[in-house]
Amino acid sequence: MEAVVLAAGSGSRFGGGKLLATWDAGVLLEGALAAAFAAPVRSVTVVIGADADAVAAAALSYAPSAIVVHAPDYAEGMGASLRTAIASLPSDADGVYVFLGDMPRVPASVLPLMAQALIDGALAAAPIYRGRRGNPVLLDRTLFPQLLALTGDAGARGVLQDLGDRLVLVESPDDGVLFDVDERSDLLR
């Protein structure tokens, strides 16, 4: 398994610089990186785009072993970032966790349960809290061709919707799988 952290967006609703905003004792991106490194993975790749140099520096300062890749067409939306992420993975990757750079509170306890779902035959796994599906998602390698064909800002939502019971939902102990930062006021929640 591998992990990717999508950190290429411009954070326009936030007013820019979202992933570098102060969070806890560091910056927002560090929360997502902490979760990604807590997953049972071989590598963590950070996909950058807007504020590329600053986001790359923050990622490597926090996690020198992170792999940083630039999504040249990041302005297209999450689909472009995800395509870049999937294309950058080792050819023998069995699956990939997709973390969002603006989600700093993902509980580590859901991550091995998601991996077990894939080991047991699911094509994807996602956390759920009080009936709402959250992030990150874990996707089997057989879905990589569909992910490489994504366009626009939808991410993997459409791919997941078509899986039916091949998408396993794992109960989260808290709402960290739903909590994301879109606007500055979200930092206070």
Residue count of the chain: 189
At 126-181, the pLDDT tens digits run: 999 999 999 999 999 999 999 999 887 777 888 899 899 999 999 999 999 999 99
At 25-62, the pLDDT tens digits run: 899 999 999 999 999 999 999 999 999 999 999 999 99
Please tell me the predicted confidence (pLDDT) of residue 187. Answer: 84
Please tell me the predicted confidence (pLDDT) of residue 175. Answer: 97
> For residue 5, which of 54, 53, 59 has the smallest C-alpha distance?
59
Confidence of residue 6 (pLDDT cuts 50, 70, 90): very high
Q: What is the average pLDDT score of the chain?
A: 94
Q: What pTM was computed for the model?
A: 0.96
CATH of the domain at 36: 3.90.550.10
* Structural domain range at position 115: 2-188
The count of domains in the chain is 1
DSSP 61: H
Is the confidence at residue 11, as pLDDT, over 90?
Answer: no
Lowest mean pLDDT among 86-100, 118-132, 145-159, 174-188: 145-159
Mark 86-121 as b/e (b = at least 16 C-beta within 10 Å). Answer: bebbeeebebbbbbbbbbbbbbeebbeebbebbeee
Both tokens of 161, joined, read: 């919707």
> What percent of the chain has pLDDT above 90?
81
Write the DSSP string, 66-130.
-EEEE-TTGGG-HHHHHHHHHHHS-TT--EEEEEETT-TT--TTHHHHHHHHHHTT-SEEEEEET
Structural contact between residues 46 and 62, judged by C-beta atoms closer than 8 angstroms? no
